[in-house]
Amino acid sequence: MKRLNETPLVSIIILNYNAGNLLLNCIESLSKLTYENVELVVVDNNSTDNSQNECKKIFPQIKLIQNKENVGYCGGNNVGIKEAKGEFLVILNPDTIVEHNLINTLMEAYRIHGEGLYQPKILSLEDKKILQSTGNMIHLFGFGFARDKGNLDNNEINKVIPVGYAAGTCLFSSKQVFFKLKLFDEFLFLYHDDLDLGWRAAQKGIISYIVPQTKIYHAESYSLKWSKKKFYWLERNRRYCLMTHYSQNTLQKIQRELWITELLIWLVYFLKGYLTAKIKAELDLRKNKEFIIKKQMEIENEKIIPDLELIKTFPDRIEIPKFVSDNFQSRWFLDIIEKLCKKAKRKLLE
């Protein structure tokens, strides 16, 4: 059990970009926290809806940092982390409502399990019985998904357990851990930022956990929702994580399976009408080839846990909510990806 001060300062960093009343509701819920030693930091990414100033007017106790431009999820949160005074940090989306015991419960988990990345149970703000995440998982081919998303909350997970990576919707750790991981990777801008952070953490032996004894409620994707722009960021950053997190040896061994997966993704993007997003993602990766090579070498040199050890913990099947995957096209894609994943893992284990 890790010894801590009774009530160390916890900085809660809320990154805002045109969140409107969602931001005000979030801060209102934070004002009811039972934990007493809290700093509220709102980092605004050059919002045009005046929500940041309205928030400061209603809640003068917040520390408001106004960026001159939108520097993305990663850049904005990094600004907040650097400015925060707390020994511990919570990265929190503005479209959330938190339970009053959030900080106490996350802090207790840290006291017991030590250095790590922690998330609460996440449920839908629209239907508070429906899960959004009981911890996120990394797939061999770079996909990230929220476990149990869309399922009814039956409290099946009722204790702190390790997960693939903690959700960036509400992410708790010590400031020391964030700096040990060199903060969020600003090349990502947004999406897969938490997957990247959790993957790099796991490579250094820092475990991610779900803490189901406390909950937050989340209004998902209030900014981009489903769009070509969102698909561009998701695909660009998935490929970036593959290119930087695996060693060249690992990539060579599963080259054929990765190539088939790419063909399938090109097909899916074409069928969804998002082909231009996929093309744009590939062109951007090519443009940044030298940076990506340097990043891969940096990550490889700092690894403590080898690829194979982590890959053994990656699930074979991607979990997607039934309302998304309950059609032939989705099931067909998931079935093929699962088979390719198993085949690739056999190669790596040979």
**pLDDT value at 92 more than 60:** yes
pTM: 0.95
Per the CB < 8 A criterion, the answer to whether 337 and 323 are in contact is no
The angle, 0 to 180 degrees and rounded to 10, between the axes of the packed helices 228-245 and 193-203 is 10
CB 227: neighbour CB atoms within 10 A? 13
Reported confidence tier of residue 225, pLDDT bands at 50, 70, 90: low
Two tokens, residue 141: 């081919």
Give me the chain's average pLDDT, please: 94
Per the CB < 8 A criterion, the answer to whether 211 and 105 are in contact is yes
Quote the pLDDT of residue 321.
Answer: 78
Higher-pLDDT residue of 326, 16:
16
Reported confidence tier of residue 4, pLDDT bands at 50, 70, 90: low
**pLDDT value at 80 more than 70:** yes
- Phi and psi at residue 110, in whole multiples of 5°? -65, -40
**pLDDT value at 323 more than 80:** no
Query: How does pLDDT run across 143-202, given as a tens digit for each residue?
Result: 999 999 999 999 999 999 999 999 999 999 999 999 999 999 999 999 999 999 999 999
Q: Would strands 161-163 and 63-66 be described as parallel, antiparallel, or unpaired?
A: unpaired
Positive/negative CA dihedral, 326, 330, 333, 338: negative
Query: How does pLDDT run across 272-299, given as a tens digit for each residue?
Result: 899 999 999 999 999 999 999 999 999 9
- Only one residue has tokens 């709102």, namely 42
Quote the pLDDT of residue 190.
Answer: 92
- What would the mean pLDDT of 22-28 be, rounded to a whole number? 97
Amino acid at 144: G
Reported confidence tier of residue 5, pLDDT bands at 50, 70, 90: low
Name every residue whose Cβ is closer than 8 Å to that of residue 38 and which is 6 or more positions away in sequence: 9, 10, 11, 12, 30, 103
Quote the pLDDT of residue 3.
Answer: 54
Reported confidence tier of residue 206, pLDDT bands at 50, 70, 90: very high
Q: How many CA atoms lie within 13 A of 112 on its CB side?
A: 12
- What would the mean pLDDT of 94-110 be, rounded to a whole number? 97
**pLDDT value at 2 more than 80:** no
Query: How does pLDDT run across 240-255, given as a tens digit for each residue?
Result: 999 999 999 999 999 9
Quote the pLDDT of residue 326.
Answer: 55
